[in-house]
Amino acid sequence: MKIIYKRSDIKDKVKALKANGLTIGFVPTMGALHQGHLSLIKEAKLQNDIVVCSIFVNPIQFNNQQDLEKYPIDYESDLKKLENLDCDLVFMPDVEEMYPEPPTQKYDFGFLDKVMEGKFRPGHFNGVATVVHKFFDIIEPDKAYFGEKDFQQLTIIKRLVKDYNIPVEIVPCPIVRESDGLAMSSRNLRLTKEQRIQAPYIYQTLLKAKENYKKFSVIELKNWIKEEINKNSFMKLEYVEIVDMQTLHSVNNYNDIKNLIICIVVFLGEIRLIDNIKLFY
């Protein structure tokens, strides 16, 4: 496994590999790697000759300075995990390397970046799109892997590659959960012992909603989820939306649309956890 810090070095390295006819799979991460990230690496290993993983805590996608400052970092452990999976290249630029000048790009994804995360985290998706676009430009992967845990992000990245004609296939990967159902997240490390015990209640509530949705209208189901979450004294719901998986438009009834997803964000203290569940009918 080779660790590379400079844009020009990773570009040259990948170019040489591609010239030899090898295919490149790319997995962008912000480090503090867990089994969710590693599932993306494993999938990329299966589908490509060479796997590139980036570790870069992208400051411009944080709308909350405290969240950025407290973001967990453990490069040593990350590199060990990647080595164990036989990841080929790790790209670890610093902020100066990625943004020698303050970035000025402005993306507009129409409705897709105005709702849910876009609404509650202003500027977040512009930061995500900026860094992912740069990575695609530098690495030119054949395929890139994104987790369905960040479902809206995945939708926006698919739109980014369409809008800018970027020749990369976006591969969605399912959510990896702890054995108690909590969606794996680097932020879980920041939960207190008691918060960690309570946290699986988010997924339990989503599961119950999915099991029982036919008993409720869409509005009633949303309200039921809201009430269930807020019943838990450790939790505060930020939002819950039931949306069309393609357009992210909220629906008012279950008719017409085949693929719905319930997206939720819950605070436990100051820790913001995101999750979702697909609701097919």
Q: Which of 176, 237, 266, 274 binds ligand AMP (CB under 6 A)?
A: 176
Structure tokens at 205: 């509530």
Answer yes or no whether residue 36 interacts with ligand AMP by CB under 6 A: yes
Return the exposure string of 109-127: e unless at least 16 CB atoms fall within 10 Å of the residue's CB, then b.
Answer: beebbebbbbeebeebbbb
109: alpha, beta or left, given left = phi > 0 and alpha = psi -120 to 50? alpha
- Binding-site member from 109, 146, 213, 224 for ligand AMP (CB under 6 A): 146
The verdict on whether 37 is a catalytic residue reads yes
Show the binding pattern over residues 179-218: x = contacts ligand AMP (CB under 6 A), - = does not.
----xxxx--------------------------------
Can you tell me which of 13, 42, 134, 149 binds ligand AMP, judged by CB under 6 A? Answer: 149
Among 79, 171, 173, 235, which residue interacts with ligand AMP (rule: CB under 6 A)?
Answer: 173
Contacts of 126 (CB under 8 A, 6+ apart): 60, 105, 106, 107, 113
Among 52, 175, 273, 279, binds ligand AMP (CB under 6 A): 175
235 in contact with ligand AMP (CB under 6 A): no
Cα dihedral across residues 108, 111, 113, 114: positive or negative:
positive
Phi, psi dihedral angles at 147 (to 5 degrees): -85, 145
Residue of 34, 37, 124, 133 marked catalytic: 37
Show the tokens assigned to 263: 């997206």
CB of 187 to ligand AMP, least distance (A): 8
- Encoding tokens for residue 67? 């969240």
Please state the closest distance from residue 9 (CB atom) to ligand AMP, in A: 22
Q: Identify which range of 134-142, 168-176, 225-233, 238-246 contacts ligand AMP by CB under 6 A.
A: 168-176
Q: Which residue is nearest to ligand AMP (CB)?
A: 147
Binds ligand AMP (CB under 6 A): choice among 44, 62, 147, 201: 147
Residue 142 Cβ vs ligand AMP, minimum distance, rounded to whole Å: 17
In whole angstroms, how close is the CB of 147 to ligand AMP at the nearest point? 2
Binding to ligand AMP by residue 264, rule CB under 6 A?
A: no
Which of the residues 38 through 97 are near ligand AMP (CB under 6 A)? 39-40
Q: Which residues bind ligand AMP (CB under 6 A)?
A: 29-30, 36-37, 39-40, 146-147, 149-150, 173, 175-176, 183-186
